[in-house]
Amino acid sequence: MLGRVRALAAGALAASLLAGGMPARAQQCVAQFQENAQQYHKNLGICGQRHRLMDGVPELVKLYQEMERKSPYEWQTTYYKQRGNADPSYTAKSTPDYKVRVADDPAGRWKSDATTTYFNCSAPLGVQAQDESFMECARVYSCALQASTCAIVEAHRTNTSDCNMVANQCLQKHRIPGMASLDSGAPPAPVPQGTTKGSAPRTPPPAVTSAPPSPVESLSASCKAQLNQFLQAADRGDGAKATAAYEALRANCDGAMRQLAQAADVSLPERQMGRLSRGSFQRCLSGVDCGTAPSSPDQMAAAAANAFNVDEVMAAAFSFAGLAVGIAGVAGMYTPMAGGQIMQSNRFSTINQRARSTYGQGGPTYVAPRTVPSDITGIKK
Amino acid sequence: MKYLIPAVLSVLALMTACTPLPPQPARFNAYQGLTPGGAPPPQSSIRPPIQGSGKSIALVISDSSEKQYEYVEAVIAAMKGGGYMYSGDIDRRGRADYFNGQIVKKFQSKFARVELVDDFRNATAGKFDYIGLVDIAIQKPLTTGTTFGYDIDVDILTPSLQRIVSLRGKGLDNNRCPGSECSYATDMRALNQAMDQFYAALDANVR
């Protein structure tokens, strides 16, 4: 979950860098990128502060102290020393911290020397342990700070009013962990890349001269308008309109959409085969149950036998037969065969008994002798 | 006699309580959802017959076919639950599996490899020599009707989405006798008529 939030944050950072590219003069680009850089720097300090607090939250320290019944002096000399001389007076209200105290990451995401912590912006985002959470937070903003610093320098150097182009160039060169479109494809940058030391932007990176243009820029005016409609519908949570707009985009701007998808490292939603089509054809492709005509007599009998309880079917037939005999005289009704199963069935004979004569007057106090064979004992009369 | 009258009445009531069978939905553009705007692909310069032996083909089933299959399911459900007399194997005989199976078998007899794929993108990734867009239509009789029908339209495309040839099969037959077995026989006649035409078309265009 944390990783996803971080990835979203990275995406938002990248988006805000790109958002700096509104039609403007070069000075406006510079101002926008400077504003971005300041925000990232501030956030970087907050991440560092949170990380430091994990080592010395006063409430936690006090709890340990009470549990182990150690004096405050003992804690000052043992616990805090063991925790890298963390300062117990440092709280959430303290000023942001740009000096992260942590062991070097074996995976190379960060390493420190006496004065500076270096972040590797090429390594993918990932939190392996709880105490890495705020380090990753710091790494994201440190790398974003590098990208925005690059953008400031580039905007100055080129004196362009195309802020998007500058932002894209710098994002290609200065990756932000968690930003998928930049995480894939580009070669990993060597350590060190960034630093948390100091509050001013770091030394500008080399100028970029051959970065590819953004796929968005290459869209035609019509496709841009349709893309905007699509994004607007998605933004409003209107799935139906978004889908319609997407379909229109695929119909009219398919090539550009594929380029956009490639740049954004996402898969374009494609049509999926229907459930019934897939089930039937896949079943047949695997050679199951599709090879012979389902209307052959053997199959029909087998299928019918499987579909019903035969005893129940037969019992129903006997009952129906009794009903049929009861309304004998109606044209087309079946007449049971002499000696057939229906005649031998109890149900039929039970119903038939009602029609049998009785001796004497009144109710059936004495039933006439059976005229059909008994099927109870199996001994036929 | 007093027991029989309600029984007969209940049988009559059952006969008139049948749920109407749904009508066949109209077919629509087989390329809908598969190409931008459902546009049909351009004609290929390749002329049939094409070589199928040793080649692979990806089968894509149209959305229109799926709607037809849904319709068949609805017919079966109505027959089972709507007060109709039905055979125990209607689940098996009523569905299009046999029809689809014959199509698959025919492709398998012509091509070295036949696979099912979701969309053209999966079929155009260089993994197949040809693409077959399969579009099916199935007609079952209405409550008081007698007509059974099968349509199969298959477009054979190149991996770059150019149409080489369209293959067709159409079968239509009317019930001429009462009873479910007569209906099935009619159903199969219509099916076989469509399959025979399709087989002949495929044989003529794929070596």
Determine how β-strand B113-116 pairs with β-strand B130-139.
unpaired
Per-residue pLDDT of A242-267, as tens digits, reads: 877 887 787 778 788 888 888 777 77
Average pLDDT, chain A: 65
Q: In this structure, are residues B141 and B149 in contact, taking their beta carbons and an 8 Å threshold?
A: no
Q: What is the pTM of this model?
A: 0.47
DSSP label of A131: G
* Distance from the A363 Cα atom to the nearest Cα atom in chain B, whole angstroms: 17
Q: How far, in Å, CA of B144 to CA of B15, rounded?
A: 13
Q: List the strands of the sheet with A117-119, edge to edge.
A: A110-112, A117-119, A194-195
CA angle (A163 as vertex; A161, A169 as ends), nearest 5: 125
Portion 44-103 of B in contact with A at CB < 8 A: 59-61, 63, 65-67, 69-70, 73, 87-89, 91-93, 95-98, 100-103
Cross-chain residue pair B118–A273, CB shorter than 8 Å: yes
Percent of chain A with pLDDT over 90: 0
How far apart are the C-alpha atoms of A9 and A178, rounded to whole Å?
8
A323 interaction partners in chain B (CB closer than 8 Å): 4, 7
pLDDT at A371 over 60: no
* DSSP letter assigned to residue A379: -
Task: Give the gap in angstroms from C-alpha A283 to the nearest C-alpha of chain B.
Answer: 8
**What six digits make up the tokens of A252?**
């009219």
Residue that wins the pLDDT comparison between B191 and A320: B191
- For the record, the structure tokens of A282 come out as 């896949």
Of A15, A34, A24, A16, residue with least CA distance to A159: A24
Higher pLDDT among residues A278 and A344, named by residue: A278
Q: B61 vs A307, which has greater pLDDT?
A: B61
Helix (H) or strand (E) holding B5: helix B4-16
A chain contacts of residue B33, beta-carbon cutoff 8 Å: 271
Nearest to A153 by CA among A34, A18, A22: A34
> Would you list the domain boundaries of chain A?
2-195, 221-264, 305-381
Q: Choose among A159, A164, A120: nearest CA to A138.
A: A120
CA atoms within 13 A on the CB side of B12: 6
Q: Do the chains contact at B88 and A303, CB–CB below 8 Å?
A: yes
pLDDT tens column, A53-62: 766 666 666 6
Q: What is the ipTM of this complex?
A: 0.84
A355: pLDDT strictly greater than 60: no
Q: What is the 3-state secondary structure (H, E, C) of A291-351?
A: CCCCCCHHHHHHHHHHHCCHHHHHHHHHHHHHHHHHCCCCCCCCCCCCCCHHHHCHHHHHH
Q: How many other CB atoms sit within 10 Å of the CB of residue B184?
A: 21
- Whether A295 and B115 lie within 8 Å, measured CB to CB: no
CB contact under 8 A, B61 and A274: yes
Query: What would the DSSP string read from start to end of A209-227?
Result: --PPPPTTTTS-HHHHHHH
In the block, residue with structure tokens 């079943």: A283
Cβ of B97 within 8 Å of Cβ of A294? The answer is yes
- The average pLDDT across A76-83 equals 63
Q: Which of A155, A151, A157 is nearest to A176 (CA)?
A: A151
Check residue A53 and give its pLDDT: 72
Q: Rounded to a whole number, what is the distance in Å from the CA of A14 to chain B's nearest CA?
A: 29
**Whether residue A204 has a cis bond before it, omega within 30° of 0:** no
Please report the pLDDT score of residue A83 as a whole number: 59
Return the half-sphere exposure (C-beta side, CA atoms, 13 A cut-off) of residue A286: 7
Calculate ∠ Cα A253-A257-A263, nearest 5°: 150
Instruction: State the average pLDDT over residues A220-228.
Output: 85
Residue of B68, B97, B150 for testing the chain A interface, max A β-carbons within 10 Å: B97
Report pLDDT digits (tens) over A12-33: 344 445 544 444 566 788 888 8
Please state, as a whole number, how many other Cβ atoms lie within 10 Å of the Cβ of residue A164: 20
- Spatial neighbors of B114 by CB under 8 A, at least 6 apart, are A285, B56, B57, B59, B104, B107, B108
Local structure of residue B53 (DSSP, 8 states):
T
**Token pair of B189 as six digits:** 């006649």
Helix (H, G, I), strand (E, B) or coil at A150: helix
Q: What is the pLDDT of residues B185-207, one digit of tens each?
A: 888 889 999 999 999 999 999 99
Q: Compute the Cα dihedral for A266, A270, A276, A278 and give only its sign.
A: negative
To test the contact with chain A by mutation, choose from B64, B68, B104 the residue with the greatest count of A C-beta atoms within 10 A, namely: B104
**Which chain A residue lies closest to B191 (C-alpha atoms)?**
A293
Does the structure show a pLDDT above 70 at A189? no
* pLDDT the model gives residue A196: 43
CB A125 within 8 A of CB A111: no
Task: Count interface pairs A-B at CB distance under 8 A.
Answer: 118
Average pLDDT over all residues of chain B: 84
**Partner residue facing B34 (CB), from A271, A274, A277:** A271
- pLDDT at residue B43, as a whole number: 96
CB-nearest to B104 from A275, A285, A295 is A285
Structure confidence at residue A112 as a pLDDT band (50, 70, 90): confident
* pLDDT over 50 (residue A125): yes
* B196 interfacial to chain A (CB closer than 8 Å): no
**Alpha-carbon gap, residue A370 to B58, rounded angstroms:** 71
Domain chopping of chain B, boundaries: 60-205
Average pLDDT over residues A165-181: 78
| A316 in contact with B, Cβ within 8 Å | no
Distance CA(A348)–CA(A181), nearest Å, equals 80
Nearest to B188 among A251, A285, A295 (CB): A295
Q: Domain B60-205: give its CATH code.
A: 3.30.160
Would you say residue A5 has pLDDT above 90? no
Q: Which band of pLDDT confidence, cut at 50, 70 and 90, is reported for residue A156?
A: confident
- Cα A176 from Cα A13, distance rounded (Å): 9
Nearest chain B alpha carbon to A257:
B36
B63/A271 CB distance under 8 A: yes
Residues whose CB falls within 8 Å of the CB of residue B27, separated by 6 or more in sequence, listed in order: B64, B68, B135, B137, B151
Contact A271 B118 (CB under 8 A): yes
Contacts with B95 from chain A: Cβ below 8 Å: 280
Q: Please report the residues numbered 359 through 378 in chain A whose beta carbons come closer than 8 angstroms to any beta carbon of chain B.
A: none
